[in-house]
Every structure is written in structure tokens, then in C-alpha cells.
Amino acid sequence: MPEPAPGRTRASAPGQTSARGREPLDGAREFVDELVGDRAADWDRDGLLPDDVLRALAGRGLLCAQVPAAHGGPGASSAANGAFTAYVGSRCSSLRSVMTSHGMAAWTIQRLGSAEQHAAYLPKLAGGRLAAVAFSEPEAGSDLSAIGTTIEPDGDGVVLNGQKTWTTAAHYADLIVVVGRYGSGAAAAVVPASAPGVTVERVPRPSGCRAAGHAHVRLDGVRLPASAVLGGGQPLMLLVTTALAYGRLSVAWGCAGILRACLGAAAEHARTRHQFGKPLAAHQLVGRHLANLLTAERTVTRMCEHASGCWDSGSPDMVMATVLAKQVGAVQAAQGAATAVQVLGSAAAHEGHVVERAYRDAKLMELIEGSTEICQLILADHAVSGAAV
């Protein structure tokens, strides 16, 4: 995002400035730089994020920065949290993916939980505990209406049975927010990963975001107190849409970060690599690639800014703006990463290179939190209705 002109200060979005007049995310980027350094490629190769890195970020509330200060969080606006998410995404998409899943868990508790549940869970998620949110199942991917996991009342508690797949960050999570059927409707339940009957099985060597801790979660007669249930009895798709909204916008901002990383790497290579007696950037066809990358990054950033603005203002356009940002972001990130590979050529073929990682990571963005096709169907319905975002 552009910096304000000298002598001027940027206006703060709602929830962006603390009571002491400081931005709630002041110093957050520098903190991420200290933690990540040049280790993202190694994390990707190893398929693992260090526990101390995740705990350090979680302990400062940076994995769920929109949690209000009253519950120990930074209390950042969507705009401020989004810009920070893009920065994390430009450094390490696996880390950003964990940030998205953790933030979705906190958001689901904020939206569906009671005041007592807010007080019980949000300070933990803003204070060092790690969380994930589980939707997908073997027979319920794009069609989440097919969810079969059950949350059944039993005496003074509930019992969970079912299986979740590809749950981002579940490998690291202390708590997993599980979406399931509850009576004639649906609910989410906050499940301790260490509870009897919970089995977390790591997904081996995924193609992208390899260190994001993707895992399958099996729930076999998991008994919890009734206080662990969030939003019991709501229509399933309303509950899912509520939780997915945060994730879609977080992924969209992450895509802006992927594009920034690709643009930076491609531009540097084109400036310094010489072919046919001149820098690659001086060749018009290479210049076209750079122009397309710049256009994609700026377009996705502006789409995300618009969606976060709708979020912060409480605009009724928020849902569609979020879907649009996710759709444009994911498609442009996948295309942009491919473009960056084309500019770098064999230099981008080394495992762990920032562009090589981006190429693999970006494709997953077209699949998660609503695939490209699902987003297109939502947007097509919106267009037919005659509404405008």
C-alpha cells in the first residue's frame, strides 16, 4: 500500500488505532522479518513451521489481529489486518495459511459465540494458543451442504463423530473449531486437539503451502461440555458462510502478497540478467510480463482494500466484495506466479526459490475457501440478480 505523502498522516480505519493512539500492528512487520529471516525455503522443504515462531506470533495476537482489545487482541481493522496478512504472504505462504485458519477460528467464535464463550476462548487465541477451523470432509468439499459430521446432545454435554480432511494448521492446533450437524441445523464446536477420540493425521508432502500443517482430523465419540458448542441450531450454509467470509478475504490478501513476492523477484532478475547484450527488462516481451505482474498486484490489492473497507464500514456489499476479491486474487496469483516463472526461467526451477514456492502455493489459492468455480457461480448469480458490488 502506498505511504502517505511527507507531512501527512494516514487516516485510521475503524478499530485501527489503540486507546493510546498507536496503531495496533505497529512493529508487526519487523517482528515477522525477525522471525522469518531467510528460513521460509527451509520450512517449505521440511514441511514444518517452528513451534516457537508460531507461539511468538500467537502470543502477540498477530494470528488473529481483529480480536478486540477487550479480549486481549490487537483490535485491528480488516484493512490493517489485511495489509499485514499480505506482508506475511509475501514472506511465507505457509505461515500466512496458518494465520488464516487461526483467524477464521477466532472470527467464528466472535460471530457465533456468547459473551461467556468470547471470554473463555478469545484471550487464549490472542495469547499463544493455536487454533484451526475444520470444514471439508471426504464427501463434502465444494459442496459443504454434504457435511456429515455430527454434534449430538448427550446429557449435559455433546458427542462429536465424523471426519474432516485437509484442515489447515490442524497439525499445530491446540483447539480445532469443527463445523457439523446439530439437530435440524448446524453448529461449530471448539474441540481440544488432545481430547480423547481426536486423531490428527498429517497430510504428507502437499504440493503447496507445505509447512501449513494440513491434516485430516477424525472424531470418534469425542465428548465435550455443552459450553463448547457455538451457534447451535443455525442453518448449515449460513453458519458456513459466516465463517468462510473471513477466510476468503484473508486468502485474497495473501494472494496480493504472493504477487508482490513474484513481482519483486521477477523485476530484480530482469534488471540484473543480461541476454543478447542487454538486460532482460529491456526486451519488450519480458517488459510485458513485468507490466502484467504489476497490474495484477495493484488490481488485487485494490480489490482487497475495497472488500476490507466494506467489512470495516458494515456495508451490505461485504459478502460479494469478499467473494470478488478472493476470486480475482486467486486467479491473478496463479497466473502471476506462472508469469514470474517465465521471466526467471531456470532460475525459478530450484526447489525453495521464492517464485518456485509461489507457483505451487498460488495454485492452492484457486481451490481453498471456495474454489474458482464456486466463486464464479456466486458472482454469476449476483450478476443475474442485477446487483452491483
Tell which residue, 279, 261, 274, 291, has the closest CA to residue 356.
261
Given a contact cutoff of 8 angstroms between Cβ atoms, the answer to whether 230 and 247 are in contact is no
Over the stretch 348-376, which tens digit does the pLDDT of each residue have?
999 999 999 999 999 999 999 999 999 99
Whether 311 has a pLDDT exceeding 50, the answer reads yes
243: pLDDT confidence band, cut at 50, 70 and 90? confident
Beta strand pairing status for 198-202 and 157-167?
A: unpaired
Tens digits of residue pLDDT in 173-182: 999 999 999 9
pLDDT digits (tens, 9 = 90+) for 149-198: 999 999 999 999 999 999 999 999 999 999 999 999 999 999 999 999 99
Question: In this structure, what are the phi and psi dihedrals at residue 168, rounded to the nearest 5 degrees?
Answer: -60, 135
Q: Is the pLDDT of residue 7 over 50?
A: no
Q: How far apart are CA 194 and CA 49, in angstroms?
A: 20
CA distances (Å), 116 to each of 26, 111, 131, 272, in order?
Answer: 30, 13, 19, 58
**pLDDT of 8 above 70:** no
Q: What is the pTM of this model?
A: 0.92
What is the number of helices (H) and of strands (E) in the chain?
Answer: 11, 10
d(CA 212, CA 214): 6
Contacts with 346 (C-beta within 8 Å, 6 or more apart), sequence order:
none
Three-class secondary structure of residue 180 per DSSP: strand
CA atoms of 363 and 357, how far apart (whole Å): 10
Task: Tell the burial category of 387 from Cβ atoms under 10 Å away from its Cβ (0-12, 13-18, 19+).
Answer: exposed
The whole-number pLDDT of residue 49 equals 98
Structure-block grid coordinates of residue 322 = 469478499
Q: How confident is the model at residue 3 (pLDDT cuts 50, 70, 90)?
A: very low
The residues near 9 (Cβ < 8 Å, ≥ 6 apart) are none
Please name the residue that has the C-alpha cell 498486484. 297
In angstroms, the CA 354 to CA 40 distance is: 9
| Residue tagged 508432502 (cell numbers) | 205
* Number of residues that make up the chain: 389
pLDDT at res. 233: 85
